């Protein structure tokens, strides 16, 4: 398949995603809370519940619209017994602690009415012990008609007795997560029917959990065919932490979660593991790693339910953490691809590694919000929406210096061109900033915030001054 043979969904190029971990975002219906739900804001553990649900998301849609969000990524909402819902019991049923199918339809309709797309998260590699087929194997052993739905080495299996070998394949040796036998046509049909059902219901795409664990690219080719036949503009994004090229040839996924982008931003802005020139080299490699139609819909994130919160990582590395996070947020919002905000990052929600990164959104404690960061995020989300150059325009790195730790890049199209300069350093600097040869020639750039005018001479923007931990966004005139 050649570059021109396939396209990715156009709407994703213009999307700003917001990832929601439903159990911790908002509690809109206390009647469906788990019996053992703890008070909202309790420190998260692997096993506790707080009562977040779909009605809570519905109630906060206008907050998301005000932030500039036009796409949602929801962690799993199907019936399961954990807060994260990756141990799926029933792929066709909304978890009762989250709501009902009607609640979800309301969420989908209300989101769409506001111009917000919705993609769902599912794991097709494994299920929970309560999944009907595995439960039948537990009950009936070798006589179950579903033994070939899984990878069972011998009987009896031991799904609960940790002192014995499980005797079946699992995800990363978690016996509560039996691995599907996707070579079995019945299993394949079941899982592909799941994909079909929710796309036909009206969701706008799928985020696929651990898709690399299914060592069969033909499964994902069939998945794509089914999804795209129903909705050619559906977005398929896989959770791949490293290079995703094997899935991004036009026959499987549209994009992957861009953890390589997240790693670079964390190392440069948050933890100081790399300096500006090394960061630039990594970013430039990301730009050319995939075909252009992939690059412009890559799922760009600074954190997720599987990582420590960006602000917490930055604080561990030293002072000015909030300013460094602002620089990272700005860069994410001007970089090619679909930026995603992990719920609460816009207000400075803290959290260490999983499960601490899954804290409750403190709706009832606005005094704890970093309102400056929230306003910053809202401002640059709006700016991205206003300028096509930041969504579908060209990109070039202009300058990166390890000693100064200054990084600069450009975005441009036929309508406008911008130069973005970031000083990730406690030292103020003044420099003549070189421009890229491909940039249309202009005589001046204007600071989009202050209105200050900068002259261009001999291919450089003259006397660009940056305070510590500050930025400039300059627009050509």
Neighbours of 267 (CB within 10 A): 17
| Phi, psi of 174, deg, nearest 5 | -85, 105
- Residue 345 carries which DSSP code? G
Distance of alpha carbon 146 from alpha carbon 143, whole angstroms: 9
Of 225, 196, 190, 193, the closest CA to residue 6 belongs to 225
The total number of residues shown for the chain amounts to 477
Nearest-5° angle of CA 49, CA 99, CA 240? 70
161 catalytic residue (yes or no): no
Beta strands in 298-436 (DSSP E): 299-301, 338-342, 394-401, 406-412, 417-423, 429-434
Question: CA-to-CA distance for 309 and 358, rounded, in angstroms?
Answer: 9
DSSP three-state, residue 125: coil
Q: Strand, helix or coil at 132? A: helix
**Strand arrangement of the beta sheet that strand 394-401 belongs to:** 394-401, 406-412, 417-423, 471-476, 444-447, 453-457, 460-466, 429-434
Asked if 220 contacts 211 with a C-beta cutoff of 8 angstroms, the reply is: yes
- Cα gap 46→42, rounded to integer Å: 12
Q: How many CB atoms lie within 10 A of CB 350?
A: 16
Q: Is the peptide bond before 355 cis (omega within 30 degrees of 0)?
A: yes
Let me know if 239 is a catalytic residue. Answer: yes
Is 421 in contact with 466 (CB distance < 8 Å)?
Answer: yes
Find the catalytic residue in 209, 254, 315, 345. 209
Catalytic residue chosen out of the listed positions 53, 204, 239, 323: 239
Catalytic positions, written as ranges: 209, 239
């Amino acid at each position: 398949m050649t570059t021109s043979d396939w396209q990715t969904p156009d709407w994703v190029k213009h999307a700003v995603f917001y990832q929601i971990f439903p159990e911790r975002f908002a509690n809109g219906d206390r009647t469906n809370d788990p019996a053992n739900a703890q008070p909202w804001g309790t420190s998260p553990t692997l096993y506790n519940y707080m009562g977040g649900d779909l009605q809570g998301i519905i109630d906060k849609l206008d907050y998301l619209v005000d932030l500039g969000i036009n796409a949602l990524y929801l962690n799993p909402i199907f019936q399961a017994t954990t807060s994260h819902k990756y141990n799926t019991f029933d792929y066709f049923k909304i978890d009762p602690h989250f709501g009902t199918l009607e609640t979800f339809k309301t969420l989908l309709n209300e989101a769409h009415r506001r111009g917000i797309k919705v993609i769902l998260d599912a794991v097709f590699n494994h299920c929970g012990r309560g999944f009907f087929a595995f439960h039948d194997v537990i009950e009936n052993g070798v006589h179950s008609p579903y033994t070939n739905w899984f990878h069972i080495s011998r009987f009896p299996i031991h799904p609960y007795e940790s002192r014995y070998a499980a005797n079946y394949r699992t995800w990363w040796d978690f016996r509560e997560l039996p691995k599907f036998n996707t070579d079995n046509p019945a299993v394949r049909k079941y899982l592909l029917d799941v994909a079909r059902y929710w796309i036909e219901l009206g969701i706008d795409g799928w985020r696929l959990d651990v898709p690399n664990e299914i060592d069969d690219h033909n499964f994902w080719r069939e998945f794509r065919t089914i999804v795209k036949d129903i909705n050619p503009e559906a977005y398929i994004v896989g959770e791949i932490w490293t290079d995703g090229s094997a899935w991004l040839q036009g026959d499987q996924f549209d994009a992957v979660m861009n953890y390589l982008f997240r790693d670079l931003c964390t190392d440069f802005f948050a933890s100081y593991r790399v300096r500006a020139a090394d960061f630039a080299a990594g970013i430039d490699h990301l730009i050319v790693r995939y075909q252009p139609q992939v690059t412009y819909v890559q799922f760009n994130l600074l954190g997720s339910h599987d990582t420590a919160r960006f602000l917490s990582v930055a604080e561990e590395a030293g002072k000015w953490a909030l300013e460094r996070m602002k620089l990272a947020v700005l860069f994410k919002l001007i970089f090619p691809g679909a930026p995603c905000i992990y719920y609460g990052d816009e207000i400075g929600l803290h959290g260490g590694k999983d499960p601490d990164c899954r804290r409750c959104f403190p709706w009832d404690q606005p005094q704890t919000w970093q309102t400056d960061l929230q306003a910053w995020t809202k401002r640059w989300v709006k700016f991205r929406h206003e300028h096509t150059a930041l969504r579908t325009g060209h990109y070039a790195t202009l300058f990166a210096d390890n000693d100064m730790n200054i990084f600069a890049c450009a975005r441009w199209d036929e309508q406008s061109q911008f130069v973005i300069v970031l000083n990730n350093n406690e030292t103020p600097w003044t420099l003549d900033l070189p421009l890229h040869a491909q940039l249309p020639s202009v005589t001046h750039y204007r600071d989009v915030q202050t209105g200050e005018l900068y002259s261009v001479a001999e291919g450089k923007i003259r006397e660009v001054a940056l305070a510590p931990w500050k930025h400039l966004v300059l627009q050509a005139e």
